[in-house]
Amino acid sequence: MVSAPSGLLTCLQRFSAWRTWLRLVSAWALGLGLVFIALRTAVASDHTILVFGDSLSAAYGIRPEQGWVALLTQRLHSQGYGYQIVNASVSGETTSGGVERLPRSLQLHRPETVILELGANDGLRGLPLGETRENLARMVGLAQAAGARVLLVGIRIPPNYGPRYTEGFARIFPELANQYHLPLVPFLLDTVWPHLKPLLKKNR
Protein backbone atom coordinates (compact mmCIF):
# COMPACT_ATOMS: atom_id res chain seq x y z
CA MET A 1 0.00 0.00 0.00
CA VAL A 2 1.38 3.37 -0.98
CA SER A 3 1.19 5.94 1.77
CA ALA A 4 -0.01 9.44 0.97
CA PRO A 5 2.57 12.21 0.98
CA SER A 6 2.76 13.93 4.35
CA GLY A 7 1.61 17.28 2.91
CA LEU A 8 -1.49 15.72 1.36
CA LEU A 9 -2.24 13.80 4.56
CA THR A 10 -2.04 17.00 6.58
CA CYS A 11 -4.45 18.73 4.18
CA LEU A 12 -6.90 15.81 4.41
CA GLN A 13 -6.76 15.88 8.20
CA ARG A 14 -7.38 19.62 8.27
CA PHE A 15 -10.28 19.26 5.82
CA SER A 16 -11.84 16.50 7.94
CA ALA A 17 -11.50 18.61 11.09
CA TRP A 18 -12.99 21.61 9.30
CA ARG A 19 -15.99 19.53 8.14
CA THR A 20 -16.55 18.27 11.69
CA TRP A 21 -16.40 21.83 13.06
CA LEU A 22 -18.79 23.03 10.36
CA ARG A 23 -21.30 20.29 11.21
CA LEU A 24 -21.15 21.25 14.89
CA VAL A 25 -21.66 24.94 14.13
CA SER A 26 -24.54 24.14 11.75
CA ALA A 27 -26.22 21.94 14.35
CA TRP A 28 -25.81 24.64 17.02
CA ALA A 29 -27.21 27.32 14.71
CA LEU A 30 -30.16 25.12 13.75
CA GLY A 31 -30.89 24.36 17.39
CA LEU A 32 -30.70 28.03 18.34
CA GLY A 33 -32.99 28.92 15.45
CA LEU A 34 -35.56 26.33 16.52
CA VAL A 35 -35.47 27.63 20.10
CA PHE A 36 -35.98 31.18 18.81
CA ILE A 37 -38.95 30.09 16.67
CA ALA A 38 -40.45 28.19 19.61
CA LEU A 39 -40.11 31.21 21.88
CA ARG A 40 -41.72 33.51 19.32
CA THR A 41 -44.57 31.06 18.83
CA ALA A 42 -45.11 30.77 22.57
CA VAL A 43 -45.20 34.53 23.05
CA ALA A 44 -47.43 35.10 20.04
CA SER A 45 -49.93 32.51 21.25
CA ASP A 46 -50.54 34.43 24.49
CA HIS A 47 -53.21 37.12 24.75
CA THR A 48 -51.15 40.28 24.48
CA ILE A 49 -52.02 43.90 25.21
CA LEU A 50 -49.65 46.40 23.63
CA VAL A 51 -49.36 49.75 25.40
CA PHE A 52 -48.10 52.23 22.85
CA GLY A 53 -47.49 55.65 24.32
CA ASP A 54 -45.04 58.27 25.55
CA SER A 55 -43.56 59.21 28.94
CA LEU A 56 -47.02 59.13 30.52
CA SER A 57 -47.08 55.38 29.92
CA ALA A 58 -43.33 54.77 30.17
CA ALA A 59 -43.36 55.76 33.88
CA TYR A 60 -40.82 58.49 33.23
CA GLY A 61 -39.43 59.96 36.45
CA ILE A 62 -40.91 57.30 38.74
CA ARG A 63 -40.14 53.67 39.50
CA PRO A 64 -41.57 51.36 36.80
CA GLU A 65 -43.71 49.50 39.34
CA GLN A 66 -45.44 52.79 40.21
CA GLY A 67 -46.55 53.49 36.65
CA TRP A 68 -50.12 52.92 35.54
CA VAL A 69 -49.11 50.11 33.17
CA ALA A 70 -47.56 48.10 36.01
CA LEU A 71 -50.58 48.73 38.22
CA LEU A 72 -52.90 47.65 35.41
CA THR A 73 -50.87 44.46 34.99
CA GLN A 74 -51.31 43.67 38.68
CA ARG A 75 -55.04 44.22 38.44
CA LEU A 76 -55.39 42.01 35.37
CA HIS A 77 -53.62 39.14 37.07
CA SER A 78 -55.46 39.56 40.36
CA GLN A 79 -58.80 39.33 38.56
CA GLY A 80 -57.94 36.24 36.54
CA TYR A 81 -57.12 37.73 33.16
CA GLY A 82 -54.23 35.84 31.58
CA TYR A 83 -52.94 38.68 29.47
CA GLN A 84 -49.35 39.62 28.79
CA ILE A 85 -48.83 43.38 28.74
CA VAL A 86 -46.04 44.72 26.55
CA ASN A 87 -45.16 48.34 27.24
CA ALA A 88 -43.65 49.76 24.04
CA SER A 89 -43.90 53.37 25.22
CA VAL A 90 -41.04 55.81 24.60
CA SER A 91 -40.53 59.04 26.51
CA GLY A 92 -40.74 62.09 24.27
CA GLU A 93 -42.52 60.21 21.49
CA THR A 94 -44.68 62.17 19.05
CA THR A 95 -47.41 60.76 16.86
CA SER A 96 -45.13 60.88 13.81
CA GLY A 97 -42.56 58.79 15.66
CA GLY A 98 -45.32 56.42 16.68
CA VAL A 99 -46.36 55.90 13.06
CA GLU A 100 -42.80 54.85 12.24
CA ARG A 101 -42.46 52.47 15.21
CA LEU A 102 -45.88 50.84 15.33
CA PRO A 103 -45.60 48.41 12.38
CA ARG A 104 -42.56 46.74 13.95
CA SER A 105 -44.27 46.46 17.34
CA LEU A 106 -47.37 44.93 15.76
CA GLN A 107 -45.28 42.43 13.83
CA LEU A 108 -43.18 41.50 16.85
CA HIS A 109 -45.90 41.18 19.51
CA ARG A 110 -49.08 40.50 17.48
CA PRO A 111 -51.31 42.05 20.15
CA GLU A 112 -54.97 41.34 20.66
CA THR A 113 -55.52 44.87 21.98
CA VAL A 114 -53.54 48.09 21.52
CA ILE A 115 -53.84 50.87 24.10
CA LEU A 116 -52.89 53.95 22.09
CA GLU A 117 -51.70 56.85 24.25
CA LEU A 118 -49.94 59.41 22.09
CA GLY A 119 -50.34 63.07 21.23
CA ALA A 120 -49.21 64.88 24.36
CA ASN A 121 -45.82 65.83 22.92
CA ASP A 122 -47.45 67.04 19.72
CA GLY A 123 -49.66 69.35 21.75
CA LEU A 124 -46.87 70.60 23.99
CA ARG A 125 -44.84 71.50 20.89
CA GLY A 126 -47.76 73.16 19.14
CA LEU A 127 -47.59 70.84 16.13
CA PRO A 128 -50.37 71.19 13.53
CA LEU A 129 -53.60 69.61 14.72
CA GLY A 130 -54.30 68.06 11.33
CA GLU A 131 -50.95 66.29 11.42
CA THR A 132 -51.60 64.88 14.88
CA ARG A 133 -55.04 63.68 13.91
CA GLU A 134 -53.79 62.07 10.70
CA ASN A 135 -50.98 60.25 12.51
CA LEU A 136 -53.33 58.91 15.18
CA ALA A 137 -55.77 57.77 12.49
CA ARG A 138 -52.95 55.99 10.65
CA MET A 139 -51.95 54.14 13.81
CA VAL A 140 -55.54 53.10 14.46
CA GLY A 141 -55.74 51.80 10.90
CA LEU A 142 -52.45 49.91 11.21
CA ALA A 143 -53.54 48.24 14.44
CA GLN A 144 -56.95 47.28 13.09
CA ALA A 145 -55.42 45.94 9.88
CA ALA A 146 -53.22 43.71 12.05
CA GLY A 147 -56.33 42.31 13.73
CA ALA A 148 -56.01 44.24 17.00
CA ARG A 149 -58.69 46.16 18.83
CA VAL A 150 -57.77 49.70 19.82
CA LEU A 151 -58.43 51.49 23.08
CA LEU A 152 -57.79 55.19 22.50
CA VAL A 153 -56.57 57.34 25.39
CA GLY A 154 -57.44 61.02 25.28
CA ILE A 155 -54.94 63.73 26.19
CA ARG A 156 -55.39 67.25 27.51
CA ILE A 157 -52.77 69.97 27.35
CA PRO A 158 -52.19 73.33 29.10
CA PRO A 159 -53.64 76.40 27.34
CA ASN A 160 -50.21 77.68 26.26
CA TYR A 161 -51.24 78.09 22.61
CA GLY A 162 -54.60 79.67 23.29
CA PRO A 163 -58.13 78.29 23.59
CA ARG A 164 -58.60 77.60 19.88
CA TYR A 165 -55.62 75.25 19.72
CA THR A 166 -56.30 73.66 23.12
CA GLU A 167 -59.95 72.96 22.39
CA GLY A 168 -59.18 71.72 18.88
CA PHE A 169 -56.58 69.35 20.30
CA ALA A 170 -59.01 67.96 22.87
CA ARG A 171 -61.61 67.28 20.16
CA ILE A 172 -59.26 65.04 18.17
CA PHE A 173 -59.72 62.04 20.45
CA PRO A 174 -63.52 61.80 20.73
CA GLU A 175 -63.83 62.52 17.01
CA LEU A 176 -61.47 59.67 16.14
CA ALA A 177 -63.24 57.38 18.60
CA ASN A 178 -66.56 58.13 16.91
CA GLN A 179 -65.14 57.77 13.41
CA TYR A 180 -63.48 54.40 14.05
CA HIS A 181 -65.95 53.12 16.68
CA LEU A 182 -63.29 52.90 19.39
CA PRO A 183 -63.64 52.76 23.15
CA LEU A 184 -62.20 55.97 24.56
CA VAL A 185 -60.58 56.90 27.85
CA PRO A 186 -61.41 60.62 27.79
CA PHE A 187 -58.28 61.53 29.74
CA LEU A 188 -55.37 59.40 30.95
CA LEU A 189 -55.88 60.54 34.54
CA ASP A 190 -59.34 58.99 34.32
CA THR A 191 -59.19 55.31 35.15
CA VAL A 192 -58.34 53.03 32.22
CA TRP A 193 -59.90 49.93 33.76
CA PRO A 194 -63.64 50.37 33.02
CA HIS A 195 -62.85 51.13 29.38
CA LEU A 196 -60.46 48.19 28.97
CA LYS A 197 -62.44 45.53 30.85
CA PRO A 198 -65.13 45.00 28.14
CA LEU A 199 -62.35 44.12 25.67
CA LEU A 200 -60.92 41.33 27.82
CA LYS A 201 -61.64 37.64 28.14
CA LYS A 202 -60.93 35.71 31.32
CA ASN A 203 -58.96 32.46 31.33
CA ARG A 204 -61.19 29.44 31.13
pTM for this model (two decimals): 0.72
- Which pLDDT value is given to residue 19? 43
- Asked if pLDDT for residue 3 goes beyond 80, the answer is no
Q: Are residues 190 and 148 in the same domain?
A: yes
- Domain ranges, residue 28: 1-45
Q: Are residues 72 and 147 in the same domain?
A: yes
Cβ neighbours, 10 Å, residue 199: 14
Q: Are residues 166 and 181 in the same domain?
A: yes
- Which pLDDT value is given to residue 34? 33
* Neighbouring residues of 18: CB distance < 8 A, sequence distance ≥ 6: none
Confidence of residue 83 (pLDDT cuts 50, 70, 90): confident
Could you tell me what percent of the chain has a pLDDT over 70? 73
Q: Are residues 36 and 111 in the same domain?
A: no
Q: Are residues 25 and 54 in the same domain?
A: no
Instruction: Establish if 204 belongs to a structural domain.
Output: no
- Which pLDDT value is given to residue 14? 46
CATH number at residue 114: 3.40.50.1110
Greater model confidence, 32 or 141: 141
- Asked if pLDDT for residue 170 goes beyond 60, the answer is yes
Instruction: Establish if 13 belongs to a structural domain.
Output: yes
Q: Rounded CA gap, 63 and 70, in Å?
A: 10
- Which of 12, 86, 82, 3 is CA-nearest to residue 49? 86
- Asked if pLDDT for residue 26 goes beyond 90, the answer is no
Q: Rounded CA gap, 117 and 173, in Å?
A: 10
- Which pLDDT value is given to residue 192? 67
Q: Are residues 174 and 106 in the same domain?
A: yes
CA–chain centroid gap for 15, Å, is: 48
